[in-house]
């Protein structure tokens, strides 16, 4: 398992928050930020770019994983930690498993944000990770959770349906 302190986690999460804020300020992007770190170095960083790229898979984590693959010339990122400002969705959780990411650290928890950010009514995507064959995959949630949650619509916000990407 990669060595990482809680101070490191907060430092990298602050970078992910900055990326999320950049996403919020970019038409066609969304305020979800991700960095991938290995051996103390950021090897990829991205924000959600779904509407910007006309790509439904362009979640911050997927964009970052593509960058990491380019950087490492490899599709397996063993020993890397993926930081995301929001609990990863099912697609990104599964992609992290396939990418052999060593550790996932996320900020806002699902219950802190509007349901529009998740695809399933009841499944907790973290259960996918807990159920994975990858015994070595570690997860830590809730890092700078309040600061991350402030990037998103809250559970009781009245969000117009047109803005809700999951329905």
The nearer residue to Zn ion, 125 or 143, going by C-beta atoms, is: 125
Q: Is 20 helix (H, G, I), strand (E, B) or coil?
A: helix
Q: How far is the CB of 86 from Zn ion (least distance, A)?
A: 8
Q: Does 59 bind Zn ion (CB under 5 A)?
A: yes
User: Near Zn ion by CB under 5 A, which window of 4-12, 54-62, 108-116, 125-133?
Assistant: 54-62
The nearer residue to Zn ion, 47 or 59, going by C-beta atoms, is: 59
Q: Which residue carries 């052999």 as its tokens?
A: 100
Cβ neighbour number for residue 60 with a 10 Å cutoff? 31
Q: How far is the CB of 63 from Zn ion (least distance, A)?
A: 10
Sketch the per residue contact string, 88 through 107, with Zn ion: x for CB under 5 A, - otherwise.
-x-xx---------------
Active site annotation includes 119: no
List the strands of the sheet with 41-48, edge to edge. Answer: 41-48, 30-38, 81-86, 103-108, 138-140
Annotated active-site residue in 10, 45, 61, 119? 61
Roughly how many angstroms between the first and final C-alpha of the chain, as a whole number? 38
The answer to whether residues 116 and 166 touch, using CB atoms and an 8 Å cutoff, is yes
The nearer residue to Zn ion, 38 or 59, going by C-beta atoms, is: 59
Q: Does 46 bind Zn ion (CB under 5 A)?
A: no
Whole-angstrom distance, CA of residue 37 vs CA of residue 91? 20
What count of Cα atoms within 13 Å lies in the side-chain half-sphere of residue 27? 0
β-sheet bridge partners, residue 139: 104
Q: How far is the CB of 59 from Zn ion (least distance, A)?
A: 3
Q: Does 108 bind Zn ion (CB under 5 A)?
A: no
Q: Does 82 bind Zn ion (CB under 5 A)?
A: no
Query: Which residues are annotated as catalytic?
Result: 61
Binding stretches for Zn ion (CB under 5 A): 59, 89, 91-92
């Amino acid at each position: 398992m990669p060595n990482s302190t809680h101070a490191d986690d907060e430092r990298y999460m602050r970078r992910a928050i900055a990326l999320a804020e950049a996403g919020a300020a970019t038409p066609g992007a969304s305020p979800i930020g991700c960095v991938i770190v290995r051996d103390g170095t950021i090897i990829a960083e991205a924000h959600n770019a779904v509407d910007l790229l006309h790509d439904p898979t362009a979640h911050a984590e997927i964009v970052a994983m593509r960058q990491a693959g380019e950087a490492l010339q490899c599709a397996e990122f063993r020993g890397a930690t993926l930081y995301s400002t929001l609990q990863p969705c099912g697609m990104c959780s599964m992609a992290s498993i396939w990418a052999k990411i060593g550790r996932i650290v996320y900020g806002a928890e699902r219950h802190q944000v509007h349901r529009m950010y998740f695809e399933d009514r009841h499944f907790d995507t973290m259960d996918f990770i807990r159920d994975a064959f990858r015994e070595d995959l570690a997860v830590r949630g809730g890092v700078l959770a309040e600061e991350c949650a402030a990037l998103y619509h809250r559970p009781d916000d009245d969000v117009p349906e047109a803005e809700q990407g999951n329905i």
